[in-house]
Structure 1
Amino acid sequence: MSTVGILYPGYSAEDDYPRAEKRLHDGSLLPLVHTEMKVDAHRADALLDIGGDDVLAEGARRVAAEAGPLDSIVWACTSGSFIFGPEGAARQVAALQEVAGVPASSTSFAFVDACHRLGISTVALGATYPPDVAEAFIMFLAHHGITVLTVSARDIITAAEVGTLTSQTVLDFAAAVSADAPEADAVLLPDTALHTVDLLDALDARVGKPVLTANQVSIWQGLRLAGADVVRPGLGTLFRKG
């Protein structure tokens, strides 16, 4: 049993985490706190603000105070980590780890580590972000040896709007992204504002290859860092690898 602290910006798909917690089946916990989001916008200035060291430090202190001792902590925001660039995102995680006193990561690095775990080197990217924000993630992935063959950017500005997308819309979106690059090893859906936990096996089945989603890889990374990296059914290909 492990406790993974989750730092989540704003309100959109935070309910994915208690849903996932029920599927872990070993008593592991995913306590979540909402970090400050002054402006809900997939825009560089707003993303740099929500991922600031002071914001994450305050979140780390609160989740530890509310949940007790943590085994790891994850900044569950993709755009609020890769927007800093590879080096900046690494400094962000290092600062969070120093404050929390436990292994730390962010969703951007969780995607990289999940791809490496599955031997994925080429991906099709289904981004809910505007194209310029999606491009920053493409560059982040490229820095870590992952090539984006095609990108579909839905150009949705707010996380709140992303959180309202229906399950059928998410499934159809993933299928369309995959169809644009059938040779890709996997499909990536990089927004933690997207509800996906209840769809992980269905996404893999619909697309016919691994579909990695932001909340999925965030949870997997936290458990991995906590030493609870084991096979878990019902959470997609990534969790079936242990």
Structure 2
Amino acid sequence: MMLTRGRARFGVLVPFTNTNLEPDMALLCPEGVSLHVARLGGYDQDEIPDAAQMHGLGAADLDEPLRLLQGVRPDVILYGCTSATLTHGLAFDRALAERIRAESGARTVTAAGALVHALKVLNVDRIGFASPYVAAINDMATGFLSEAGIQTVARSDVEGELDNYGQGELDPDAVFELGLAADHADAQAVVLSCTDMRSVEVITRLEQALGKPVITSNQAMMFQAMQLCGIELGASKYASGYGQIMEGVGHGV
């Protein structure tokens, strides 16, 4: 019988139009961990999620969703939007994590910070980068990673500009092709950034095609949250099968 609670509680802050983070967390979640979600506003659902919109989300008031989420006394809180802090920079991302931790008493993971953490664990400093973002946000994202000591040697952008729902509606085959296009001989890993892109479903397929690790926003958040709670990697079928990093490959965990 699957153990659905009792080991840890993960609280998740998710943008209100995001439809894929919660299903991904359910796929990735190890036995005994329960998920508890609060939704975030601070942007216009009918506008293209450009740098200004995502900058606004990152700066939005968290008091009410954070207060409600604290009602379940989570062990870890995951801030589930990558571009919201990528557009502000590395110092902002770290300050936001510290603020959530101070206000909630819970250990805290941000999506952007989790990407950096996963790459550091794998000793990766050269990547291929792909996302459904507008080009300006991708510029900010690669700058954010550069601040953290990670060089983007190749990048794959989507054609045109996807709206808030278009990002989540990219099917796994389209995400797979986006990841393939981001690869480069000098890249040690490929990063698929965005908590609303269906990246988790193609991790294993893409790793097999590329012969290198693939890191996604939601996978990286779950990996770091599991580490913070001392949950053994690869010990549960519910958290395994989603990339080398979740199996403890290449980092001695």
- Structure 1 residue 217 displacement after superposition: 0.9
What is the TM-score with the length of structure 2 in the denominator?
0.86
Partner residue of 1:171 out of 173, 176, 197? 176
Tell me whether 1:13 sits opposite 2:19 in the alignment.
Answer: yes
Report the residue type matching 1:118 in the other structure.
Answer: L
Identical residues among aligned pairs (%): 22
Tell me whether 1:89 sits opposite 2:93 in the alignment.
Answer: yes
**Distance in 2 (alpha carbons) for counterparts of 1:185 and 1:220:** 19
Most deviating of 151-160 and 208-217: 151-160
Listed one character per residue, the Cα deviations across residues 117-136 of structure 1 (whole Å, up to 9, x for unaligned) are 11111000112112211111
Task: Decide whether the 8 Å contact of 2:24 with 2:218 is kept in 1.
Answer: no
Residue segments in structure 2 that go unaligned for 5+ positions in a row: 1-6
What is the TM-score with the length of structure 1 in the denominator?
0.89
User: SS where residue 155 of structure 2 aligns?
Assistant: strand
Residue segments in structure 1 that go unaligned for 5+ positions in a row: none
Q: What is the RMSD of the two structures over their aligned residues, measured on CA atoms?
A: 1.9
Most deviating of 186-195 and 226-235: 226-235
**Distance in 2 (alpha carbons) for counterparts of 1:125 and 1:70:** 32
Partner residue of 1:214 out of 199, 213, 217? 217
1:183/1:112 Cα in 2 relative to 1: closer, same or farther (>3 Å)? same
**Distance in 1 (alpha carbons) for counterparts of 2:78 and 2:215:** 17
Matches within 5 A, 1:34-53: 34-40=39-45, 41-52=48-59
- The residue number in structure 1 matching 2:133 is 129
Task: Decide whether the 8 Å contact of 1:2 with 1:228 is kept in 2.
Answer: no
- Structure 1 residue 89 displacement after superposition: 1.6
Higher-helix-fraction structure: 1
User: SS where residue 63 of structure 1 aligns?
Assistant: helix
- Structure 1 residue 23 displacement after superposition: 4.8
Tell me whether 1:159 sits opposite 2:177 in the alignment.
Answer: no
**Distance in 2 (alpha carbons) for counterparts of 1:145 and 1:240:** 25
Matches within 5 A, 1:51-70: 51-52=58-59, 54=61, 56-65=62-71, 68-70=72-74
- Structure 1 residue 22 displacement after superposition: 4.8
**Distance in 2 (alpha carbons) for counterparts of 1:153 and 1:216:** 21
